[in-house]
Structure 1
Amino acid sequence: MTQHPRPDERRSPNPGPKAAARNRAALIAAAREIYAEAGLNAPLSAIARRAGVGQGVLYRHFPDRAAVAAAVLEENVRQVEQAAAAEGATFEDALGVLSWHLTESSAFISLLHADEADRRSGTSATHAYARALSERVERALRDRLPPGHRLAAADDLTLAVAMVSGAVIGPTHEERTARVLAAWRLLGVEVGPVRPFEG
């Protein structure tokens, strides 16, 4: 005779795609934190632990280290784009979100310097993806740039972002935030609250 489990013994239904999406989001958030603390060479096992998943789950979403970094960068860029596109958003708001990402992600700073790295290394194919993301950041910011703004000239916005990103140093988030705000202030540019986009 087959025994059927009692209702209180049944396994919960498999959450399926919902769990996969949650795990992926948790891995990206964990990677951003780990990279901010330990740099891009941090062990992938640390990212999985921080996200609360096993390494097998990490590798199901991201086959290698480069894929994890690319996902973090894509998420950073997407948040800047969303901040710039949000209803009622200002240029200052978008700069605040960009500045938060600068303080949180050394990989994001590298992305914004992709063109310079290309010029030095002579391997433009290596950085094509990074350049494309960098251009998306510039387009998002330029869409909110008020007419006549001090950064409206051809390359001034790109140069200002590169200059500010170069100033973002310090062992704590507070120190990096103070530096990013001081850099914008020296350039005479107003910045909204330095925080992630919460759409």
Structure 2
Amino acid sequence: MTQQPLSDERRPDERRPANDGPKAAARNRAALIGAAREIYAEQGLDAPLSAIARRAGVGQGVLYRHFPDRAAVAVAVLEENVRQIEQAAAADGADLIQVLGVLTWHQTESAAFVRVLYADGPGSHSDAPAYAQALSRRVELALRRHLPDGHRLAEHADDLMIAVGMVSGAVTGPTREQRERRALAAWRLLGVEVGPVRPFDE
């Protein structure tokens, strides 16, 4: 597929990065994943792929070289979200409060992530795609490694991910600030303490 030229009237955050060889591919992929997360949060999962390419500052040909279809983009966003949560859980000195803060950031930033986690809620697990079930289990394992005995989310086997699904269902609103406020309110109503809502800092 040929790369489509973009308008010269780009926003400052949509300028095409300089081509510097092998580093460009990794940079473009990371830019596309970040752009997809933003676009999905703003416009939903049905947003056009061209909007993602524009936000990342690349042509659609570059997008299709990395991701052959819409599903591949969504899975890449989800994989990156889960990877960051796993890294947060594996970091030195990590605890449940901190990891929940990273999880909550991804809940507020990524409409796709919210939908996958919520699909794993009570009564719907069997209907979730296999990849969604696998990603949800990875999130659960990352959280459980820091779940203290006697914690309110450890009382029953399903409580942890039911709570995550409930918070995910509360994450609505047109702005990230509104979504974060609702997510934190949901955790508070569940009686669960959450650390700073921010991405994992490698």
TM range (shorter): 0.7 to 0.9
Q: Which residue of 2 aligns with 1:131?
A: 133
1:33 aligns with 2:38: yes
Distance 1:157 1:133 in 2: 15
Q: Which residue of 1 aligns with 2:112?
A: 107
Secondary structure, aligned partner of 1:112: helix
1:167 aligns with 2:170: yes
Name stretches of at least 5 consecutive residues in structure 1 with no aligned partner: 1-13
Aligned CA distance change for structure 1 residues 95 and 116 (closer, same or farther; 3 Å): closer
Q: How far did residue 114 of structure 1 move? A: 2.9
Structure 2 counterpart of 1:146, from 148, 151, 175 = 148
Q: How far did residue 117 of structure 1 move? A: 9.5
Q: How far did residue 106 of structure 1 move? A: 1.4
Q: How far did residue 87 of structure 1 move? A: 0.6
Trace 1:15-54 onto structure 2 (pairs within 5 A).
15-54=20-59
- After alignment, is 152-161 or 65-74 more displaced? 152-161
Distance 1:188 1:63 in 2: 43
Secondary structure, aligned partner of 2:198: coil
Trace 1:77-96 onto structure 2 (pairs within 5 A).
77-96=82-101
Aligned CA distance change for structure 1 residues 186 and 119 (closer, same or farther; 3 Å): closer
Q: Which residue of 1 aligns with 2:68?
A: 63
8 Å CA contact 2:121, 2:162 repeated in 1:
no
Secondary structure, aligned partner of 1:151: helix
Distance 1:94 1:74 in 2: 16
Per-residue CA shift, 1:143-163, capped at 9, x if unaligned? 111221111131110111011
Structure 2 counterpart of 1:180, from 174, 180, 183 = 183
Name stretches of at least 5 consecutive residues in structure 2 with no aligned partner: 1-18
Distance 1:55 1:190 in 2: 42
Distance 2:153 2:124 in 1: 24
- When the two structures are aligned, how many residues end up with a matched partner? 183
Q: Which residue of 1 aligns with 2:6?
A: none
Distance 1:161 1:113 in 2: 8
8 Å CA contact 2:120, 2:165 repeated in 1:
no
Q: How far did residue 185 of structure 1 move? A: 0.6
Distance 2:161 2:121 in 1: 12
AA in 2 matched with 1:49: R
